Structures are given as C-alpha cells and as structure tokens.
Chains A and B, each alone.
Chain A
Amino acid sequence: METEHLKCDVLCVGGGIGGLMGAIRASELGAKVIVAEKGNVMHSGKGGGGCDHFLCYIPEVHGTDMETYVQEMMQTQQLHNFDTLGMKRVRTHIAKTFDIVKLWDSWGIPTRQNGKYHFAGHAFPGGLRCLLKYEGRRQKPILTEQARKRKVQIVNRIMVFDVIAKDAVAGAIGIDARTGKIFTFEAGAVILGTGAVVRLYPAVTPGWLNNNATRPSLTGDGRLMAYRAGAELQDVEMRMLHVGPKYFARFGQATWVGVFRDPQDRAIGPFVTRPEGLYGDITPEVNKALFRDHWTSGRGPVYMDGRGISDKDYRDMMHWFPHEGLTPVVEHMKEEGIDYRKNPVEFMTYDHGCQGRIVTNEKGETSLKGLYAIGEELAPGVSNASVFGWLCGEHAVNYLKHSNRPDASGMKEQVAEKASLVDKMLNRKDGADWREVNIALQQIMQDYAGLLRTEALLQAGSAHLARLKRKAYEIIKAGNQHEVMRALEVLNLIEMGDLVFMGALGRKETRGNHVRLDYPLTNPRMNGKVHIQKKVNGKPVSEWRTITG
C-alpha cells in the first residue's frame, strides 16, 4: 500500500472551527502545523454550513461582573453542555469570547449589525441575552483562508484513524478517502477536533442514515482513537436531545422566531405568548424531550408558530436563516408555498444518542501527554470550539518547548494492522456494506440502550452488539476508498456503542436523559461526579471522579 510520511510540530485532526483555530494560533506562534481533514475544511464539521449565534460576554453590554453572565447562561441549554466541565473552564471560555469575536470580525466574519453588537435568541424574557448574532455563513472558508495565510498545511480527504503514542503522543495515521494512500504523521502534539457522534442512533427517517441535524460523517473518530491510545473518556452513556423542524433535521431552533404551540394554539411553555425576536421561545431548552412527551401523551404535535410576528422580526429571521445554515430550509419553504407568517411549522425532539467527551485538563490536554481535544470532543458550540481551539493551539506549542522528541516506533505495526483490514474490505466479493452494518448497529442501540434502559436490556443488547462486532469484522466490504472510509467510521461507531453499553450499565441511576427503569432515582451522591472510561493494559476500566475546578 502506498504511503506518505509527513512531519510537523502540531497535527490538528479535524478541520472544523476548533481545529482551524488551533492551527492558526499554533502556526502564529511558530509551529509547523498540519490539518488533516476527512472531508474538506471549506465546509466540514458542525459549523460547516454556518452559524448565527456566539456565546460572547462583553462588559459594556452585560455589565462588568462576568459572573452574572455566567449564571444566566447556565440556566439555558448551556447547562447541559457545560455542567460537567467544571466552572473554572467555563469562566476561562467566557472571559476569552470577546477577543475571539473581535478577531473574527477583523478577518471578515461580520459580528456587528450597523456597527453595534446585537444579542438575541436562546434567552429568557427580561434576562441577559448571552448570544451574539453574527453572520457566519462563510465562516469556514474565511477561517480556511486565515490558516493558509499562516502557512498551515491542509490535507483534505484524509481520515485519521489512530494516534501513535507510547508514553506520549508521537503522531497519527490516516488514509486518503479518495486514493487509499496511507498517511503517517510524525507530530510532537496532536489536537483532536473530529466533532460529535452521529449515526450511532437512528436518524429522523427510519433506515435513512443521513437525515441528521448535524453532519453524518461525524462518527466519534477522535474519541475512539483517543480511547484506543489510552486517553480517558467521560459520560459516554449520557444522551443528547435536541429539537428542530419535524423530518427536516436541522439545528437552529433559536433562529426561528415564534411561540411553541399545541394543536389548540395554546403556548406549551410559560415564557412567551407572541413571537418575540429578541428572545425566541426558550421552552425546549428547559426540557428538550418536551415535544416528544407531548406526542406520546396525545397532546401533540407541537408547532413553531410565527403568526403575529412583526415585519421587522420576520425580515431579521429571514436574514439570519442562511447564516445559521438554513438556506435549504428557506428554499424548500419557498418551493412548497409555506408562508411562515401564516403556517405554523411542526417541530420534534431529535435523539442524537451519545453525548460524553474526551477528558481534558484546563489546558485542553488529555490524560495522554501531548494529546489535546477541542470542539465537540469537549462541548458543543462555535464559541467553545473557537476559544478552546485557540487556547489549545497555544498550550500545544508551549508543551513542545518542554517535551522530548516523541517515540514513533510503533507506527509501522499500526499501519500494517490497519492496511490489512482495509485490504480485506476491498477484496471481499460478498459481505455487508457499511450501511448494512450501520443500520444493524443503530437498531441495537435504539432498542437496548435507547430511551429506556434496564440491566437486562443493556446486558442483552451488549451481548448482541459483541456478536455484531465479530461478524462485521469478518464480512464488512468496501467497493472503493470512499466506502473504506465509511466502513472505518462504522467500526468506530460499534466501538462507541460498546462503551455506551458499559457506561450505561455502570451508571446505576437515572440522570437527565439516561433513564434506568430499574434505578429510577437520580442519586444525589453522584452529583458533581463524572463517569470515566479508559483502557488499561488492553482492558476497559471505569471509575467515578469528582469534578474539580
């Protein structure tokens, strides 16, 4: 198999918002940086289609006490995003946001409206508005341009599948998703930013793998390569829900201006009674399962109702839609003759299945020296990704100044192992393609580690998944290099499924959307604790740890 060897100081795996920001900063500080991206950095990642809101604290707007801002923010959906991260990290993030916003503005990502900072959406009426509206439609091409300006080497279509490490990180290995060439990267530090875990649970449309609110190629690759290399993961059994338009799975709920109403036109939440551009309707952020509960209890469906919206709010909303990545929705509404001012649009609860993160310290470093994690490997949101991407770039460069040249001697063995797997996939005439394996995985996850969990269900599902895993390795096939990439994604997802089962069995309580019918109480003794999973001497080990900071 043809191979290419590249050397750098910092390797960013994944060229989303976090990866590009880390690359830009590390390069500015003198490091030789490579970004390896599975797709193309221009539009890859959760922010690839744009974004229109950015958590940003500005003293002149929010007052000089940042704590007031932080407390307000932690009453919104950010609570679920950040509550197990530790408040020290949250404060580090928020304190840096305005600097990044000013930087983005100077690069050509507009963050002001008519010269002023405008905050709206995801907010309680009368409370502080924490989210800055910005025009992020072209954010990825602009960040790409900034990275190239700083001589960052970008290699697109490279799926990195393993980190090389002994006592410290020494590089990574990937495969070209178009040519099949193996890439070996020798790097002093590696920043993982491969995004969320999608395709582990079924999408909105049964059997249709790609109807997701976010990108279907985000398959937890970073978490799995970190885990295999010995780094720690946390809370992978926790489930993430979101809401958006029924069937047309999209993020951007708070860009819609309206009131969530039931079929009898009654508001389902207590916060707004008419469309209100400054706040939106924050009801689902308190409980994202609410729309599903309405449905299953016979009170649904729930509509996002824009009737009565002012002309100004409507104009503004239509202005923000494309920046939030909702152009296809706008075009679809035009084509179907849906006038939002007259036609309430049905919304639903999406089940993204898997939350969790890679464990990192306040510098973004994992439990493996020289390995960093950012973006959705840490927590959702463009603001979080850009701030910690930037800071991780700094910390990685600083680490390089005080570390020895890493030992990359294990590289050859890992390459040979993966090359053999790829070779088998490509040479199988009969077998299961990646879709078949993925769908089999999703049905197990949904039925045995889904909405409702018990010891018996989790044990049964876990055993069945182990059988599927064995079978998948025996028969998964790929017709070309693109399908090899998809197949490797699915094998990662199976490993993630394994971890979800282990985590869910170990969490003997009900917490948030992790519902154990056999342990219905939320155990207060588990408050402030995270559930760690790691590999020690090749065996999975779990432990509970108190959140610090």
Chain B
Amino acid sequence: MPPVIDPDKCVRCGRCVDACPEDVYFGSRKKHVPQVTYPQECAYCNGCVEECPVEGTITLRIPLPMMLLYKST
C-alpha cells in the first residue's frame, strides 16, 4: 500500500514526514529513510510526493480494492 519510498533516491530530508496530514510516517527518525508506519491510513493525497525534493523517490501504490473499473471498448 502507498506510499513506497526508493531508499536509493531518498535524501533523508524528512519533508514527507513533516508534510503528511495523516502522519503515516509516525515514528520516523531524523536523517533516516522514513518508515511507513501506518500505510493503511494513507489518504492518497499526494502531499508527500509533492514535497519530496527528488522526483520519483516516492510513489503511491494504489491498493487493489481501489482499482478503477472501466469499460473495454
């Protein structure tokens, strides 16, 4: 479940930890790759992705129950 952090790209700045309105990164340590303590509380708001200074470091994996339904044509 979201978010997923690429540890190789993460600069450990903690901006995502600060910005998350739901505090899914609760308990993360400063200057470490953030830990996603409460992934099931993610609101998929994209706030952490927005604030991350290195594009592509954080991605939101949309959980299977949230897959869009669509019509094949």
Contact = CB atoms under 8 A, between A and B. Distances in A.
Interface stretch (A19-27, A39-47, A395-403): A39-47
A512 interface: no
A332 B62 contact: yes
Chain A interface category by residue count = 35 or more
Contacts of A40: 18-21
B35 to A, nearest CB: 12
A487 to B, nearest CB: 13
Interface string A21-54: 0000000000000000001101111001100000
State the main secondary structure of chain B at its contact with A.
loop
Nearest to B69: A346
Contacts of A211: 65-66
B69 to A, nearest CB: 4
Q: Give the interface centre of B43, B51, B66 by most chain A CB atoms within 10 Å.
A: B43
A245 B21 contact: no
A329 interface: yes
Contact of B68 (A210, A215, A332): A332
Interface in A294-344: 301, 303, 307, 325, 327-329, 331-333, 335-336, 338, 342-344
Given A39-B20, A40-B18, A344 B70 contact: yes
B60 A177 contact: no
A48 B50 CA distance: 11
A246 B69 contact: yes
Given A43-B45, A43-B47, A217-B21, A328 B62 contact: yes
A545 interface: no
B65 A208 contact: yes
B22 A343 contact: no
Interface of A: 39-40, 42-45, 48-49, 137-138, 156-157, 177-178, 205, 208-212, 215-217, 245-249, 301, 303, 307, 325, 327-329, 331-333, 335-336, 338, 342-346, 480, 482
Given A40-B19, A325-B46, A332-B68, 5 more contacts: A48-B47, A325-B45, A333-B68, A336-B67, A345-B71
14 contacts: A39-B21, A40-B21, A42-B51, A43-B50, A137-B50, A157-B23, A210-B41, A217-B22, A217-B43, A247-B66, A307-B73, A332-B68, A482-B26, A482-B27
